[in-house]
C-alpha cells in the first residue's frame, strides 16, 4: 500500500509557507471624515480608507483596515487564493494515488 505521509508532509509544508492567509477582497475607497470643519471635506475632497470585504456564515461583512495593515492583507489574500488552488488540486491527486495502489498486486 502507498504511504501518504510524504505527500501529506509536502502539502503541509506548502500550506505553512503561505502564511499569512485570508479570504476576502481589499478595496480603497474615499469617504468624508467625521471631524467638523474639516477643510478637505468642506472642499468636497474625501479621505482614502481601506476596506476588507468577506463572507461569514453566508453574510457579507466589511471591516476598516488601518493603512499599516494593507500590505499584510494583500499578501494574505494572495496566499489564500494559492491555498484554494492547492485544495482544488488535492482531490484529483488523492484519486490518482489511490488508483496506483489498487492496480499494483
The per-residue pLDDT for range 47-96, each reduced to its tens digit, is 999 999 999 889 999 999 999 999 999 999 999 999 999 888 888 888 88
User: Would you state the torsion angle of the CA atoms of residues 85, 91, 95, 96, taken in this order, to the nearest 10 degrees?
Assistant: 10
Whether the bond between 78 and the residue before it is cis, its omega within 30 degrees of 0, is no
Is the whole-model pTM more than 0.85? no
For residue 9, the model assigns a pLDDT of: 84
* Cis peptide, bond prior to residue 20, ω within 30 of zero: yes
Is residue 2 pLDDT above 80, yes or no? Answer: no
Per-residue confidence band for 1, with pLDDT thresholds at 50, 70 and 90: very low
Hey, where are the domains in the chain? 67-96
Amino acid at each position: 500500500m502507498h504511504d501518504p505521509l510524504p505527500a501529506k508532509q509536502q502539502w503541509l509544508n506548502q500550506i505553512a509557507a503561505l502564511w499569512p492567509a485570508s479570504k476576502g477582497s481589499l478595496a480603497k475607497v474615499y469617504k468624508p471624515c467625521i471631524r467638523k470643519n474639516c477643510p478637505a471635506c468642506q472642499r468636497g475632497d474625501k479621505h482614502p480608507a481601506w476596506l476588507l470585504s468577506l463572507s461569514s456564515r453566508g453574510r457579507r461583512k466589511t471591516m476598516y483596515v488601518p493603512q499599516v495593515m494593507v500590505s499584510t492583507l494583500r499578501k494574505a489574500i494572495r496566499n489564500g487564493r494559492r491555498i484554494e488552488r492547492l485544495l482544488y488540486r488535492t482531490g484529483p491527486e488523492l484519486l490518482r494515488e489511490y488508483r496506483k495502489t489498487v492496480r499494483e498486486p
